[in-house]
Amino acid sequence: MASNSVTGFRLAGVHCGLKQEGVKDIALLVSDRPCTAAGLFTTNCVKAAPVLYNRAILAAPGATIRAVIANTGSANACTGSQGLANVRQTAVEVADAVGCEAGEVLALSTGVIGTQLPMESITSGIRALAGRLSTGGWADAANAIMTTDTRPKLASVRLPDGYTITGIAKGAGMIAPNMATMLAIIATDADVPRPLLASALKHAADSSFNRIVVDGDMSTNDTVFALANGASGVVVQDGAAFEAALAGVCAQLAQAIVRDGEGATKFVTLHVTGAPDEATARIIARQIATSPLVKTAFYGGDPNWGRVLCAAGYSGVEIDPAQMALWLLDANGAPVLQLVKGGCPTDYDEPAAIALMQAPEWGVRLDLGSGKAKTWLWTCDLSHEYVTINGHYRT
């Protein structure tokens, strides 16, 4: 999990008592200089206290950011006025520890809904973090924000222009294709104007974090931040190149989330083509990707194509079943077997289909035969382990 340090950014991840002894559970990122910043947040109507706090911070004209603190153990959601007060106090503690203003601190939380932040542990964690900040602290920070994740998520690219983009993310469950689907912090040492940073993040998310499904549930805390401090001395002149690089980092993080989905054993790229418009294609793709029957068939390596067509049929949009066609694809997206043509099964090789679906990575393409629009999602299977993890999440 290699990463490039980002000029002017230091990070740390430590244990402060939010998880079992020895497990990192709180992380801090600090920039040596003020950053332009952009954020995208959950569209869940039940928003955690840090989401409300961060939105207000970033909505201020001319807002600049110096630090991001992230804790596990408690989502600080459904915690009322005390939850908001705890976020503000956390920002004050970070500001005092690193030498900035409280209004320059963003806060992230992940964990159980309905529990207040243990402020004594948070405060001691902040003090420990401040003493361990380093330019090479990306991996420690990525480890410290994990919950049910089995491995940290980190992606990085160094551009020929002379600047770097590096990001970390956490996410394994409660993953749905609505912004933002997880927690992520992405930093660059390029000088990026705030409007360009916000626009680039939105477009990057649309081609990454908004195209992943593990279970279809959306968290109360979903957030992704992009921070730019300009410490490389490179002023971004080519907005398209920056956006493409940012999208590449986001795509790596998004794929890593799906590959590490709770209990997941298969990584599946789902294509919906031949739609009258992209909105229709997206609705159908999400319905298929969140169907328990489809996902359990993925897990069992069962080419039960009827479940895919059925899910498309109850998506709420008009389709003509007689025009539908379905293929299994290899890991590179190339068609291998056509299972359905004209809404009916083909004389396909069942053992070959089963063998393909036993692989850890493959794809599905459903063509609606009613237009030229298309879309795609990254999703996974639904295994026994998912139920085990979530059946005892709190207990």
Which positions are catalytic?
Answer: 181
Greatest alpha-carbon pair distance for the chain in Å reads 69
**365, 329 in Cβ contact below 8 A?**
yes
Sign of CA dihedral 229, 233, 236, 238: negative
The gap from C-alpha 394 to its chain's centroid, in whole angstroms, comes to 22
Which DSSP string corresponds to 162-228? Answer: S-EEEEEEE-SSS--SSS-SSEEEEEE-SB--HHHHHHHHHHHHHTTGGGB-SSS---SS-EEEEEE
Question: Dihedrals φ, ψ of 290, to 5°?
Answer: -105, 0
Name the token pair of 244: 């493409």
**Omega before 180 within 30 of 0, i.e. cis:** yes
**67, 98 in Cβ contact below 8 A?**
yes
Name the token pair of 55: 């939105």
d(CA 112, CA 115): 7
SS3 percent helix, strand, coil of the chain, rounded to 5, is 35, 25, 40
**Radius of gyration, alpha carbons of the chain:** 22
